[in-house]
Chains A and B, each alone.
Chain A
Amino acid sequence: MSNEWNPDEERLLDAPTVRPYVIARGRTDAPDRFDLISLAVTIRPATGNEIGLDPEHVAIVRLCRRPLSVAEIAAHMDLPAGIVRVLLNDLFDRGFVAVQQPQPEMDVLDERMYKAVLDGLRAL
């Protein structure tokens, strides 16, 4: 099962030594469009030599080889969610990651979804 706890994923990245505010270059206008459960996945690898990408950007690109939520990225990197939103926004604009928003409330939470989730929970 792919549900196994993956120690790889748990390995904490080097804890950032700069204050989050510095990492985000003072930007606090994090785009609201990234929810805590918005999922990001890498669509273009980063070598680490890209101009304008900070180590934190590169770390996110590496983390998101599998889809991860904003909340998970923040926890793994030990950064506030707001800072992760800013960094993700940069990566999104530069085509490194794709981001999928959660379904809006009252939307397509259709019968099939509930059935699949219930079946999945029962099978846990």
Chain B
Amino acid sequence: MVSGRSDHPKMPTAIKLLIAGGFGVGKTTMVGSVSEIRPLRTEETLTNRSVGVDDLSGVEAKSTTTVAMDFGRISIGDDFMLYLFGTPGQERFWFVWDELARGALGAVVLADTRRLADCFPSVDYFERRGTPFIVAVNCFDGAPRFELDEVKLALNLGPEVPVLLCDARRRDSGKEVLITLVQHAYGRRPNAVA
């Protein structure tokens, strides 16, 4: 049904990246620091897969929730448009909404060393889903400094998962985070030679 490439001007290829992590960890800040447009907000109705509670009937309960997501854009020449979506941090179970992760090239999990456990759910989710992800430790003022290896250990990350420090407020830093993510995703792509 969707028109092919022949009958309209050539369009860029859209690519989705996710910025995940706990409440207030700097997701929107990072989207804003690398985006070429002011971060926008969109409301999306998502299907809420049953989390396996309150349902003894065995019938999978499905409900819908409306979430607001921040997003930004980076165009790469005329050929590619990167869209960065900040996952809704106030929603504890955002990860049951597969629509958000479907088709994403990869994800950045932002971590705050004062509340490292807040990013466990995101890490678990991307691991299970097989979405390439990296962990970026957002350096808040006065937060305890950990060695990256300690963070890796605390999060029980596989050796292949890149972990780096960042400052979500700085464009250069956000850029480095995205480059690290895309490089990692490149190495993990399905047809990559292991």
Using CB atoms and an 8 Å cutoff, list the residues of chain A in contact with chain B.
2-5, 9-10, 33, 35-39, 41, 43, 67, 69, 71-72, 74-76, 80-82, 92, 98-106, 109-111, 113-114, 116-122, 124
Contact = CB atoms under 8 A, between A and B. Distances in A.
Interface residues of B, number: 53
B43 A74 contact: yes
B128 to A, nearest CB: 15
A80 to B, nearest CB: 4
B179 A121 contact: yes
Given A37-B81, A102-B103, 17 more contacts: A3-B36, A35-B102, A38-B14, A43-B8, A72-B40, A80-B42, A98-B8, A100-B3, A102-B15, A103-B13, A103-B103, A109-B189, A113-B80, A114-B182, A120-B74, A120-B80, A121-B178
B65 to A, nearest CB: 12
Contacts of B34: 124
Nearest to A123: B76
Contacts of B77: 116, 120
A118 B186 contact: yes
B139 to A, nearest CB: 21
A117 B76 contact: yes
A36 B12 contact: no
A19 B14 CA distance: 30
Interface of B: 1-3, 5, 7-9, 11-16, 34, 36-38, 40-45, 66, 69, 71, 73-83, 85, 102-105, 171, 175, 178-179, 182-183, 185-186, 189-191
A41 B11 contact: yes
Nearest to A102: B14
A99 B60 CA distance: 33
| Closest 9 A/B residue pairs (Cβ) | A120-B76, A98-B8, A75-B40, A37-B14, A114-B186, A80-B43, A74-B42, A100-B11, A71-B42
Contacts of A36: 16, 42, 44, 83, 85
B47 to A, nearest CB: 10
27 contacts: A4-B36, A9-B37, A36-B16, A37-B103, A69-B73, A69-B81, A71-B42, A71-B44, A72-B73, A76-B40, A81-B43, A82-B44, A103-B15, A105-B102, A109-B105, A113-B15, A116-B79, A117-B76, A117-B82, A117-B182, A118-B183, A119-B76, A120-B76, A121-B182, A122-B179, A124-B171, A124-B175
Contacts of B182: 114, 117-118, 121
Contacts of B82: 117
Given A39-B81, A118-B186, A69 B14 contact: yes
Contacts of B12: 39, 67
B11 A71 contact: no
A41 B2 contact: no
B185 A114 contact: yes
A35 B42 contact: no
